[in-house]
Amino acid sequence: IDQYAVFGSPIKHSKSPTIHRIFAEQTGQELIYTAQEVTADRFESAVTEFFRLGGQGLNCTVPLKELAWRFADRKTERAESAKAVNTLTLQADGSILGDNTDGIGLVTDLIVNHEVTLNGKKLLILGAGGASRGILSPLFEQQPAWVLVANRTASKAVNLADEFADRGDINGCGFDELAGLSFDVILNATSASLSNDLPPLPEGLLAPNGVCYDLAYGNEPTAFVRWSISHGAASSLDGLGMLVEQAAEAFLIWRGIRPDTAPVIKLLNAER
């Protein structure tokens, strides 16, 4: 039986085994998918062991995505531009291919599940770390009018914007430079969300009918989702849909079939 897993730390509350179990049932595939607590210092030996013992594919989450990017023998274009890998796949020749399905997962959740248009829109991304880098390439494929990356450390946002300058209209700035600006879609990609913290955001930042999306998710609404609701957003979304969609893309890579995500999202939403 084909074996798959997710490595990360902390991993105890990972929903990935549940998601992939349902995908497998739904598509009539036989496979095992487990979650394993793996810290950065143990990553290389754990991955090597996993594939040596017959593992077919591996998801990597916090804090291992950059290590996975370094570990992969070859990488897809989107993984290369993200400088992070969340999906490792054993190839027929024994090599390991690294891919990144996070960005496409976010865009699918926004566009397909929530019918949010990005084309011609003004986008604000909060944060300039790995999560922001991972979504920029798929976001630009939707041809937004302008992308601004705002970060606590302004220089990191400016550098990230420079790196993607050939993709479209993009700038970087600090949070103190947001006053007076307004955006159709605001994406929170800071890790502040995980500690229920929120970057300082000025009034008027969200355009009328604007949409907010927190890449993080929790059983309770995140600080950013609460900010979004209290500022009258048309939609206040968190990253649960993105989680399921990135998993569906990994499942597609591994099994050649894309599962139906809607019932899985519905189930996970009912459980919280």
Q: Which amino acid is at 129?
A: G
Q: Which stretch binds ligand ATR (CB under 6 A): 16-24, 39-47, 128-136, 202-210?
A: 128-136
Q: Is 136 in the site for ligand ATR (CB under 6 A)?
A: no
Residue 133's SS3 state is: helix
Q: What distances in angstroms separate CA 138 from CA 75, 79, 157, 164, 264, one per listed residue? A: 16, 11, 18, 12, 23
101 is in an annotated binding site: no
Residue 59's SS3 state is: strand
77 is in an annotated binding site: yes
Q: In what order do the strands lie in the sheet with 122-126?
A: 170-174, 146-151, 122-126, 183-188, 206-214, 235-238
Q: Is 8 in the site for ligand ATR (CB under 6 A)?
A: no
**Of 12, 65, 121, 122, catalytic:** 65
Show Cβ contacts of residue 128 under 8 Å, excluding neighbours closer than 6 positions: 149, 151, 153, 156, 157, 159, 160, 172
55 is in an annotated binding site: no
Q: Is 152 in the site for ligand ATR (CB under 6 A)?
A: yes
Among 257, 222, 269, CA closest to 25: 257
- Tell me which of 56, 61, 87, 151 binds ligand ATR, using CB under 6 A: 151
Cβ distance to ligand ATR smaller for residue 56 or 151: 151
Q: What distances in angstroms separate CA 55 from CA 3, 161, 264, one per listed residue? A: 5, 37, 25
Site for ligand ATR in 167-196 (CB under 6 A): 190-192
Active site residue 83: no
Q: Which stretch binds ligand ATR (CB under 6 A): 26-34, 36-44, 126-134, 135-143?
A: 126-134
Of the CA atoms within 13 Å of residue 51, those in its CB half-sphere come to 20
Binding residues for NADP(+): 77, 127-131, 151-156, 215, 239
- List residues forming the annotated binding site for shikimate: 14-16, 61, 86, 102, 217, 246
Catalytic residue list: 65
Binding residues: 14-16, 61, 77, 86, 102, 127-131, 151-156, 215, 217, 239, 246
Instruction: Note the residues at the interface with ligand ATR (CB under 6 A).
Output: 127-131, 151-153, 156, 190-192, 197, 199
